[in-house]
Amino acid sequence: GIAPLPARADDPPAPADPAAARAALRSAIAAQVARLDTLRAAAWEAVEGPESHALLARASAADTSAEGQLRHRYARDADRSCNASVRLYLNLRDRRRRELLAIAREARQNDTPRAPVGLGWWREADSAPA
């Protein structure tokens, strides 16, 4: 037979009745299964989530039904719109930087010291801020 495990100090006392022992064991197992079930979703999402999302994206791209093609078109258009927005922002930022450099260069060439007051507006340094 199998030798019993040695008792630890924090173990509860073993029940004398075999039916009570089985009930206690079932209760402990059910508690552990419930705890593991609550951890399953989080662990699955952390480990397998990114791969499953990529797999779903690849599978939906191969969907030839009208509904699947429509979903694919919507996703493609959303990606393009997002990329266009980022490009627009970067172009505006670069254009703004070039404009500010041109204004500063012009002020240096004309010996007109200017100070930025915000939103693209400048004032001469010796003028009243109002």
Q: How confident is the prediction for the chain on average, in pLDDT?
A: 82
Backbone φ and ψ of 114, nearest 5°: -120, 150
The model carries a pTM of 0.40
Q: What's the distance, Cα to Cα, between the start and end of the chain in Å?
A: 96
| pLDDT for the residue 30 | 95
Would you state the structure tokens that stand for residue 111, as one six-digit string?
């010996």
Three-state DSSP at 35 gives helix
H helix or E strand, kind and range, residue 119? none
Which residue is it, tokens 């004032």? 123
Q: Which of 83, 63, 86 is closest to 73 using CA atoms?
A: 63
All residue ranges of the chain with pLDDT < 70 are 1, 111-116, 120, 122-130
Backbone φ and ψ of 29, nearest 5°: -65, -45
Contact 122, 115 (CB under 8 A): yes
How far is it, in rounded angstroms, from Cα 97 to Cα 116?
Answer: 13
